[in-house]
């Protein structure tokens, strides 16, 4: 199975091509440029170097949230556009699950954390043993203080991953975590591809029209609109 996978949910953008579980190409940028500028050129470059065409693909995989509202939309919209009219299945992947997959050989508790602002992180918890990840809770937005209380009672090694790594470590007062190399903390197109392949094998892939973003809380624009409407109705 030929897979094109991408992640644009944070500052780092990543694209991967895989043949089943074998990595064919992996392209990651951490330049600070917007994904609307870089994502399609990355895809085009990877396909050209691999001598693949879009019509050769058997599956699209994309991180569909949580993450940056704009970044999530760009990634999902890109896949929807590439898949339009081609009858190629699409797998939406939890950003947090894909981040946890980066650390699949770290036995213990894998704790993905993405900076959600407002003193919160997007988070999920996974138990990992001998390369097998088991989800312990759904994706959620949680304060670092609440996460600290939850983690401090666990008697297994704890590893953080994601762009909330530094702010979470700074905010933990009761929990000790083990270090993770910086290159493993960021989004990986390959991890998205493998999580997408697993979703496809579970029968969870959809067509391009059904592929949707997943937000764990309203965007700033939505919050401001709701606050304005609430005041108008007083």
Q: How many other C-beta atoms are found inside a 10 Å radius of the C-beta of residue 216? A: 18
Mean predicted lDDT score pLDDT of the chain: 94
Question: How far is residue 109's CA from residue 101's CA, in Å, rounded to a whole number?
Answer: 12
In this predicted structure, the answer to whether residue 225 has a pLDDT above a threshold of 80 is: no
Domain count, the chain: 2
Is 232 inside a domain boundary? no
In this predicted structure, the answer to whether residue 230 has a pLDDT above a threshold of 60 is: no
Q: Are residues 157 and 198 in the same domain?
A: no
pLDDT digit string, tens, across residues 176-204: 999 999 999 999 999 999 999 999 999 99
pLDDT at 232: 58
Q: What percent of the chain has pLDDT over 90?
A: 90
In which element (H, E) is residue 38 found?
helix 35-50
Residue span of the structural domain in which 64 resides: 2-95+187-226
pLDDT at 226: 45
Can you tell me the mean pLDDT for 18-39?
A: 95
Q: Please give the order of strands across the beta sheet that includes 90-93.
A: 22-29, 13-19, 2-7, 59-63, 90-93
Structure tokens at 208: 């391009």
pLDDT digit string, tens, across residues 32-46: 889 999 999 999 999
Can you tell me the mean pLDDT for 126-145?
A: 97
Q: Are residues 60 and 139 in the same domain?
A: no
Q: Are residues 146 and 213 in the same domain?
A: no
Question: How far is residue 214's CA from residue 194's CA, in Å, rounded to a whole number?
Answer: 19
On whether the CB atoms of residues 101 and 61 are closer than 8 A, the answer is no
């Amino acid at each position: 199975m030929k897979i094109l996978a991408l992640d644009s949910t944070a500052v780092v953008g990543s694209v991967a091509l895989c043949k089943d579980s074998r990595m064919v190409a992996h392209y990651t940028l951490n330049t600070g440029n917007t994904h609307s500028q870089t994502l399609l050129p990355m895809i085009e470059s990877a396909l050209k170097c691999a001598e693949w065409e879009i019509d050769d693909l058997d599956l699209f995989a994309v991180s569909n949230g949580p993450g940056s509202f704009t970044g999530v939309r760009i990634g999902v919209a890109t896949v929807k556009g590439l898949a339009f009219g081609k009858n190629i299945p699409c797998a939406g992947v939890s950003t947090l699950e894909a981040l946890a997959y980066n650390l699949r050989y770290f036995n213990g508790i894998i704790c993905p954390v993405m900076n959600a602002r407002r003193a919160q992180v997007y988070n999920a918890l996974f138990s990992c043993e001998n390369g097998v990840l088991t989800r312990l809770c759904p994706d959620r937005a949680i304060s670092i203080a609440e996460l600290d209380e939850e983690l401090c009672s666990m008697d297994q090694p704890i590893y953080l991953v994601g762009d909330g790594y530094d702010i979470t470590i700074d905010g933990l007062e009761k929990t000790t975590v083990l270090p993770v190399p910086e290159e493993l903390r960021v989004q990986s197109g390959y991890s998205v591809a493998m999580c997408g392949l697993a979703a496809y094998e579970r029968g969870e892939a959809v067509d391009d029209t059904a592929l949707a973003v997943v937000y764990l809380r309203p965007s700033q624009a939505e919050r401001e609109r709701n606050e304005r409407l609430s005041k108008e109705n007083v």
